[in-house]
Amino acid sequence: MRDNNDMPGHLARRFQQIAVAVFLAEVGEAGFDLTPVQYAALATIKANPGLDQVTLAGLIAYDRTTITGVVDRLVQKGLAERRASPRDRRARELEITDEGRRVLRKITPAVESAQQIMLRGLSAREGEELMRLLRKAIAAGNELSRAPLRDMQA
Amino acid sequence: MRDNNDMPGHLARRFQQIAVAVFLAEVGEAGFDLTPVQYAALATIKANPGLDQVTLAGLIAYDRTTITGVVDRLVQKGLAERRASPRDRRARELEITDEGRRVLRKITPAVESAQQIMLRGLSAREGEELMRLLRKAIAAGNELSRAPLRDMQA
DNA sequence: TACTGATAGTCAGCATACTGAGCAATATCG
DNA sequence: CGATATTGCTCAGTATGCTGACTATCAGTA
């Protein structure tokens, strides 16, 4: 029988588990309380002011039902704002707050450090190669999950 | 700023997301209702009859608080049994049922197929290399999560 | 314009995962 | 032996992620 260590699915889960733990540890030590998902959402909102939730979900490959809760928590923490879109009354436009900008700026070193720690067993070249292979596998499987990555439309 | 696609943490989340979706799709098409986590637990119980929950958790790197629910559902589906250990009254010994054995046997082709599909963007050599790099990164980060991989004690 | 279909967002329900706390039982050591 | 520490398990609470359903709104078309 195939061993766990020969199962890409098992290795994926394990690597992600470590990645999240490292992220939370680094960010927590820096004095912040932000999850990987919240960080990605906030950074994307900052880079695309006024985007709606579906677009945000597509840009970071979240399910749209997950985004609701994530944005709820960003708003609740005062890092982002959600307001009705003037052009489409179904949509909510998202904006980062000054406090959100401040947190993003201060948190960046911890996030960078986390990315390094989760690759600490690999050489620089191996780390690059791992990322390349992950990107390639992800690109081929993009449409297989309910929350595929999507480009900006306009 | 570092792009999402240059963040190993983001790539890890995305790859795992696809891996789970592929697993559920393949297994579902084969007519079974088993999650990746439940599958790993059941296979490990079969390979190590009579093991307790903490040992099971260590062998597949789950948090012990997660195992409780997973085993609950395996028991509820009639695939595994949980009984008090005669040697340690705190511990529960786990055993696979005949139905569990039958399901494992029948489900194997779908699981195998899923492992291939999630690597379909890569050549055979690239798939091997990806798994090697993941194993190496995981080994170096094993102690960084609350649920590290553990060997059998006995 | 009225109908039809698609879209944005939310919600209920379920299954991982984690933190932190607690209980019962076992191990260890003075 | 008795106090202390450790261990196996569970639980409450929170945060992803998913399925499926629903409402409100918009877009396209007959």
Residues 27-66 of chain B with CB under 7 A from strand D are 52-55, 64-65
Question: Which two tokens mark B129?
Answer: 């290399």
Closest nt by CA–C1' to A16: C17
pLDDT in tens, B116-139: 999 999 999 999 999 999 999 999
Q: What is the pLDDT of residue B29?
A: 95
Q: What is the Cα gyration radius of chain B?
A: 17
Higher confidence at residue A101 or residue A3? A101
**Which of A1, A3, A4, A14 is the best substitution to test chain B (most B C-beta atoms within 10 A)?**
A14
- Predicted pLDDT of residue A124: 96
| pLDDT single digits (tens) A14-39 | 999 999 999 999 999 999 999 999 99
Token couple for B80: 């595994």
Contacts of strand C, CB cut-off 7 Å? A 13, 17, 20-21, 24, 52-55, 64-65, 67-68, 71, 82, 85, 88, 90-92; B 35-38, 62-63, 65-66, 69-70, 73, 88-90, 145-147
Contacts within 8 Å (CB) and 24+ apart, A86-89: A88/A52
- Say whether pLDDT at A1 is over 70: no
Cross-chain CB nearest to B137 (options A2, A40, A119): A119
pTM comes to: 0.94
* Closest by CA position to A37, among listed B25, B4, B137: B4
Backbone angles phi, psi at B151, to 5 degrees: -80, 165
Closest alpha carbon to B11 in B149, B120, B142, B130? B130
Residue A54 and residue A91: Cα distance in Å, rounded? 9
B68 touches strand D (CB under 7 A): yes
Q: Please give, one letter per residue, the 3-state secondary structure of chain B.
A: CCCHHHCHHHHHHHHHHHHHHHHHHHHHHCCCCCCHHHHHHHHHHHHCCCCEHHHHHHHHCCCHHHHHHHHHHHHHCCCEEEEECCCCCCCEEEEECHHHHHHHHHHHHHHHHHHHHCCCCCCHHHHHHHHHHHHHHHHHHHHHCCCCCCCCCC
